[in-house]
Structure 1
């Protein structure tokens, strides 16, 4: 098994080094640069906490294996080690649409059925993500462009992060979303997957269920799983949610129709997982993919000990090219996400964020 982190330790998702988290070595981002913040003379706790809003902690990079300095928001690990979630799937699988829909639902108070709420870890970067991705997609009905690829040795950091709290609990939840083509190759940039605490594997049914789909499944799935299998204990420990994205395509067919119409988070109300409902959806989603020849896309379910399957739709309909926007794809009927928070509810339960009893009920 992997060695658990101590109460004040955090694994940097950029360089993978482990270091003690405290409120030293602080910086403020000003005029395009990180500027040191000196709080030596500020002893009053109220003033100190106010000064630290929006601050960043520099990663000390103990191994000294990265030339470029990197920083994490001070709220990233102020409540203990964060829950770092990676979205895995081929390009065009719908990962970016799914994450934008998740963040949009969190903004709307979508975690209230769990007795939880969400707030930004870093207000500035969160608002930027809302402006650049969520607003035009959810409110404007404009499809998100494919995620840009990264250079082979470039730093990769999380796309957005929120503080999830309620009932005396609080924990930062960070999301990684990189191009599927990048995930499919083993580069130094992609080693961030070793810092993940949970994964959402995104199955694109338009690709997986089509005639002539590759028998070896999603290359991004296989590359990430191979990297994780090489680390002792990870496949036994990490919670995994496998989602059948774009389920709106099959919303009139069983078993998809049965789940597509269910209220969001119905299996996790008040933070108390319903093992029977969780197992039923996983069973139906497994049978749906298996019976239609997509057995290879079920390998994460067979690889990871703690895993669930879900029917979701980030958009509610299919995008079409619009000549008025130069051929850019839009959603003429608007964006209507369905059940996008259920994979998150499953991960919250399996990871212990909802408490030990919820983890037991979720099968963790």
Structure 2
């Protein structure tokens, strides 16, 4: 077996460091791969930037796989901020966590098996699982995010094809197929929001956003927008019905997690499931949120932006259930609240990441767009809370999204 050199720090830092965490995670992935495929050479080709788990592209013999590990089931950003204690405390807890059957990646592997048994939606194949490391097969082809930028006029068609594949999850009663211990609540929009912005700790968290990444003047403007937006969204959460249901949501439905191996005319394949018991509204909201943020990060030409947002509008309106007028308005208001919550969730994660942590390309770009993005959230949440007609609020939010991207 060939092993590439990995430097694992021997000194125990008071708080987890990027070097310490990455060294530990890479060595752990290497050991797990060697245990699963003892007769194969193991080479870790490159790190894949992420704010959630540690991901490596690995060559096992002649196979190219993606390997992911998680420390204590929390995001890398939370871990590096010291949310789980000192590095020595984390290492001690991690040894126990890796042997738990309900660990995050054990649940993700179980979900990939369930999706394969259900016959759809098609997800990336599970290649192996060992002591808190999951190995999956790569899925070649353009992602939904790439196709939206290349074929903006086909936005509504692409989104509709994505959701057609998810019908088996979104039908009533589908939640019975997933055992309670198999749910990945860590991908819940409202659950994440309420954990992040809870009481005094939530206030302190907000006050530290962007300390090392934004200039003082811009940072103060951003913090005011964040505080106002979070306050409104918390109040809206108390007023609006929850998105619980008897169906399943894919959970981590982002444009980069939907791949079209056979191009726009083929069926999509899904990456990184985060199944949870929830209405399909959760999937719609996350896809709206991340599509707008993709545009904000990539800044395509104006005609393409208009086409994508027009297609997004058409798709969402086609998904509104056949309900009475008041119930339709509540549904759309709840969808918007989830959209805005998810945007706050991921933006604050990027802004709280230490400088040494490599960010995904979109994350780095969005930090520079923080004030316009939070201005969109602030204005849309104000309209929602103020009782503006919901369809007018939706149209206003799309106008605000256009301003962010432009």
Considering fraction of residues, name the structure with more helix: 2
Considering fraction of residues, name the structure with more strand: 1
